[in-house]
Amino acid sequence: MSEPFDAVDVIRAKRDGHGLDDAQIDWVVDAYTRGAVADEQMSALAMAILLNGMDRREISRWTAAMIASGERMDFSALSRPTADKHSTGGVGDKITLPLAPLVAACGVAVPQLSGRGLGHTGGTLDKLEAIPGWRARMSNAEMLAQLEDVGAVICAAGDGLAPADKKLYALRDVTGTVEAIPLIASSIMSKKIAEGTGALVLDVKVGSGAFMKTVDDARELARTMVDLGTDAGVTTVALLTNMQTPLGLTAGNALEVRESVEVLAGGGPDDVVELTLALAREMLAAAGRDDVDPAEKLRDGSAMDVWRRMIAAQGGDPDAELPRARETHVVTAPAEGVLTQLDALKVGVAAWRLGAGRARKEDVVQAGAGVELHVKPGAPVRGGEPLMTLHTDTPERFERALEALQDSWFIAPDGSRPDLLPLVVERIAAE
């Protein structure tokens, strides 16, 4: 079949700083998906987009073309409104686990399509698979039935959602174009819009353990994604949140599930509880249910009830003993003072090296591996007291994990206080 455009002309247009028109965008995304545009041609276009950017119209059309490459889910038959959350990923970011059942307990259905971890950022599905019997794969019909019955589902995205994104994502990974904000934003939002949720809250991490290291970059990504959701008719809001230091006291799959259950039981680390409630309030407001107080649903056990039903509905045993690593190593404080710094990226890399993460998609993770923190920045420490405990089934991994943790913390004399970003840095809504 003859093609209406030449890929080289599209590449040249963006290379020379011109905007792509709607027809060019529709064609190039479709042609790449079906193989009429070669990988090397899309690589060149992705690099041109990285260097020269896209305006709001271009990004919105690019996202729409990615959505059009596959199916769209429809939750309009549900008896309650829907809201979803997406996090750009961080260290110890287990928020989805308590958040989905909490929002469901407040009367809003949560269709949470999640992914697996790669590198230092953990994957929600890997965490939940630490629960014996739990399964990530569900059909659309199963997902719809569980949303109506339980109110929340966390599962793997099907292959039918935005297949253009799956192909382009793999290409960006090996061509140095991952950082292009138009491509990051359209990748995330094409899947979330195709998922069919009525409202979306974005948790855009900023700091050493996040993809976006500066507030300005995180703000640009958040603004772009909020605009994309708004243009597609999805009520969308973003919170920029702190990822300078790990979230909570654990980084690792079973460790994070255990901590999430503590939050649902009314306890857990203050920062995890605070962020869970902040995101829940945003989701409820976006879905038109801001008359419900999510903090009350944590206190009265309603959120825990939904968690147990959600896990059981997907084959998991909410009462099962979670895996524990066979070996541990305690890292102690070398001196007395105040912990003023704990680098999220270095803790994340250590957890990865202990077996909690994967370097390639096909790697197997250790359910019990990870890092357990005993203090967070701002806390006093004494020499010889535990700072963290490393967990793994394979003790030969300790050496490389400890190498990753070198210079990851700083202990200042008593009286010093860390200069940290607040947990919620900024809120970005539709203009």
Exposure string over 281-299, b if 16+ CB within 10 A, otherwise e: bbbbbbbebeeeebeebbe
**Other CB atoms closer than 10 Å to residue 39's CB: what's the count?**
15
**Angstrom distance (rounded) from CA 24 to CA 175:** 22
Retrieve residue 333's tokens.
Answer: 């404080």
Distance CA 200, CA 239 (A): 11
- Among candidates 82, 62, 66, 65, which has minimal Cα distance to 74? 82
DSSP assignment of 185-238 equals: HHHHHHHHHHHT-SEEEEEEEESTTSSB-SHHHHHHHHHHHHHHHHHTT-EEEE
Using CA atoms in the order 73, 77, 78, 80, what is the torsion angle rounded to 10 degrees?
Answer: 110
Q: Is-contact 63 41, C-beta < 8 A?
A: no
Give dist(CA 414, CA 409) in Å, integer. Answer: 15
Contact 241, 206 (CB under 8 A): yes
Could you tell me which of 377, 125, 357, 156 has the C-alpha nearest to residue 252? 357
Active site residues: 86, 165, 172, 187, 191
Give me 219's structure tokens.
């703000």
Q: Please state, as a whole number, how many other Cβ atoms lie within 10 Å of the Cβ of residue 324.
A: 13
